[in-house]
Chain A
């Protein structure tokens, strides 16, 4: 029987807060809301992680980075679990992370505007989208969507009609 004192899960959470998202390194994996659970199974630390998009190539890198961080902190007995349910939503992105995204040049998600499959039709009928995204550079609301998809699965390409800069919008899901 081991007599080693196991680090408290609260402390593990603060360590995980030091793990950046590999593609958007200004925010951490905990701020993105993808670390769902930290607990012990006997002496094994179990960290449950949920993918952002199901095919996101960053998922495997995130697992590796979490493992590296926890090993660096001296955790030997570790298990990472992939958790699908409930599916990740941008509602879980913290307020602090939204500010950081904006400062980094990415417009943060606007809650409640995830696609339901019929959003494009509704927008065509009403003549406007349900989305007003502020330019992260100049703050103007006079912006337009260039494409629903962007440089990573979680983003859409937008452009500002005032300062004319293209920018990424962290789309809702």
Chain B
């Protein structure tokens, strides 16, 4: 087994950047923070590719099966002899794939931000947070211990919080940051309890050992976890479902998705990195990481399937109605992650039946590139117009040729048009769904058509529709998407498509959105490590591709030129449209629960009771003591006659007691 220890440097370099920029950034690296951070991440990216080459092509495969290699493991916190939190580095196909995804996308975002965030007052802080996020995400990927996952899970959560709240003086950004953290924290509570259940019955927190113990139907651990039950479900189901709850929170699955659209308050490159390509797929990764255990429990897998499919559909419907371009993309992300989730849910572990697993990972991979491209493209547009609203856009194709081309490629990719990347991965998912569950297949197909519709609605509204505004920037300048952008905007160059650092990532990612679909993914990443033969079936592809094209044409007829067709369509759907526009009132439901139930019916009564009942009781004790002492202090009057009276009274009482009562 060769040495993979150098992989440790991949997360450690961004960590070092974070520490240096966090401590000294404001003072010494106010201008150079971007370059330092990008250079450090470039090194990480190169190391990731080196690792991928070594693993996939040199020595990862033994007897035709990719091995799980533990490159490093040491005990960080011992709970009891077998149960401990270990810190370590795992090298296996999905980990290596995620390394590539995270470092590449993060690198693109780092480069893009050099232009996008230029002139920000807290430029160094921005890069420090970005590095912290990258470190945490890489740590999460490489985790060998389920508690290690949880720790980095929390760290990506807090980095996300810091970055969403980057414009900290903007109340809406602060609210969004809080919401994202609290909703995912709630989900993480489930994750934590899930971990405790697995740790208790599995007798270990080590992922490899857990899988080993809980996947053989004869092992004592498996027998104990399946025989113990609570409310009619076995502890295995409980543990896995609760862990999935954590995953659903991070991956914005219904009903824990409400934070994701609001998270768009963060700077757009951040959305591209965290809320499109990496952190939000952590939930998918978590299920994939524990997939052998999930595959032992039908119920848990079904929950994954239906939550995923429902989220995919719901988000796609909402996406058709939103007008903020980043929110459309956010719902689109949620919908695509739903795809990945149900693909995992319908999969089996190993062999031909593991197609869903492979397809899910493939889609995760391709999605990362085209979705981050969409966000960065949107970022370019927002950078120029200082607005997120569709109504402020239109006809930009001439003003921003590169962004236009890149965005179009990404739209085609997500719509699943061959030969773009999304086509290949989506086909695999649809194939798997078709074989396993026809209902899910139907939902997936319908969602795919909706996806094409809303993506091209977005595309036409931004780049076609109206004539280009003559002076794009001045028209909507008050909509400045942040207060930090200042003098630099007077640069003529800034009002074009932005700096070359902003264009280059678009071009690279567009190339990926075209190219990565051709990677023979099933050769590398499968549920059991052995290569899987797949092929694109032309006949099977006709239905989804045709549906997508129809949806695109429909979208073109609605939005390519300004017309009233879309208004008519809105009128047809009526109440349903309004409900979708209002995101089906899920936010309102949460607000109702927190503002009308938790605060007034739990928080306030407790706070009141503490002051009035509990403390009141203590005060009562004190005042009673005082009263009693006032009442009886007359007894010690100093008058001898009184004392004589008490004395004889006492003698009398005792005499009566001894003579008549005790005898």
A, B co-complexed: no
A residues whose Cβ falls under 8 Å from a Cβ of B:
none
B residues whose Cβ falls under 8 Å from a Cβ of A:
none
